[in-house]
Structure 1
């Protein structure tokens, strides 16, 4: 519950309040874009360094492959629910898919602490798995958004190339590989910038996202009951799949639960930053509000306990 009172979440709330009272508070577009680029580089670098620190093992390989596979596949339920139940166009459904295939760092950190408290501590390498799961879902969401839209590039193959060569995706994956290759020692000279300033920049980013989400929500009223239901259903479905997959690949109950928590979460940091750059015409406030105002509190209060109970139950069957 303390996650609700972190500075990052409170800055998002501040942006929402400012929008609700119709304040003229605004983050200039150039600064907002620069902050998004910074976050992409920092998230990628730190993820690569974390994987370098954790080392390699059979369990890490199994968890990493399972995480990447989930990240590639789990955008699809969110996409089709948004299309069929929410009746959204392909671009906005793809943006939602990117958010719901990617992961929430705050949800994961909260879940890891809950697991420790109940005696099901997750393996340390799950932090590296979290890092691996961010980019693939964003790539898939961008592809789902653009595939078959009849753009000037034509075919779905061109849409896929476009998704993989998009600037934000190149920065996220490229910085991850840099962090992996240089390791902790190579990262230390730039750590003050990318670690010391990260939370402050994240506060500014979420302040901007609070302004955007609330203003677009107020203008469009697009968060329908069907989309609220979709946000909860996808969280439960993806989390359940994650726990089952983690158990099937042989992870300990705590790590299987951690994989379920990752799968059931929705990104409100990496995905909004990437989607804002890659799909500038979508209603970004919609997936962000679904992820942060619906799925995040649901997971903190209900989703994590359900996943923990499921991991315990599955461990008695295998």
Structure 2
């Protein structure tokens, strides 16, 4: 037991996670610490570009293999199926109506790309290898969850619940997904020559910029939780902690079953455990306007995101190492 705790604490004691904790602390203390909006936008773009480009370069180094197709299939399956599990848990653990439960469920089938980026950084700091094509898996897991959520809402609340169809552009041209995927393709096409040209930009500053970005995310998550805590009853709060653990275990089982290496199993666990707070809220505002944005945003950004960054990532990495 002592060895397990030492491993978990060791995984937690890294700059990226600790800067996120500092942001949470600043929010709870009502500090005036903040990151300018323009700087936060730049850091978001930088991180998506860097992780996508490095993933594409890694794919070019190792080539397209059957493992890539299996991993993408696993990601698609998780993204499509997790909303059904989330909806079931919400109906058991909370008193949410079907429309709100469907909207929340869609967030948990989708992903948090920031959590994914933090996870890749943790692997780098821990010296654990992973497959670059996991970036493609992450990009594939946005849309299926949205489709599942809309089906659940129509099935349990009737067609009135979804008053507008989500335009294809909202699903497939989301800026974060487009940049991540595009950078991945560019990294794969330009290969070693491209990496040599921009390595000083996408490699050396990466961890430092991620620390600043997670500081800002900690502040944002803490303030969201403080502002909207009145919307969280015990059942909803518990769901925000239980659901990522359930998703992570599904990711672990599927990743181990298809033979992914430890680092890639960990990333699949993280993707399955995370909840969207960018792409899916935008889609839900259009497709399920009667759902309460304060509920699904507070759960995904104010509860699950901090849990995953501070507790989940070290725990999932330990489980991935233990089970593979």
Q: Spell out, residue by residue over 1:236-274, the C-alpha distance to the aligned partner (whole angstroms, 9 max, x if none).
A: 43334334434544x2xxx36655533332589995576
The alignment covers a number of residue pairs equal to 294
1:1-318 alignment, distance < 5 Å: 1-58=9-66, 60-77=67-84, 80=87, 84=91, 85=93, 87=96, 88=100, 93-99=105-111, 104=116, 106-107=118-119, 126-141=130-145, 154-155=164-165, 158-221=166-229, 222-249=231-258, 251=259, 255=260, 260-266=265-271, 284=297, 286-299=299-312, 303=316
Q: Spell out, residue by residue over 1:176-198, the C-alpha distance to the aligned partner (whole angstroms, 9 max, x if none).
A: 11111111321221121122222
3-state DSSP class of the match of 1:99? coil
| Unmatched tracts of structure 1, length 5 or more | 117-121, 312-318
Alpha carbons of structure 1 residues 109 and 10: separation in structure 2 relative to 1, 3 Å: closer
Distance 1:46 1:272 in 2: 24
Q: Give the C-alpha shift of residue 307 in structure 1.
A: 5.5
Q: Give the C-alpha shift of residue 38 in structure 1.
A: 1.8
Q: Give the C-alpha shift of residue 142 in structure 1.
A: 5.6
Contact 1:242–1:256 under 8 Å retained in 2:
no
Distance 2:282 2:48 in 1: 11
Distance 1:268 1:208 in 2: 21
Q: Give the C-alpha shift of residue 91 in structure 1.
A: 5.2
Contact 2:248–2:269 under 8 Å retained in 1:
yes
3-state DSSP class of the match of 1:56? coil
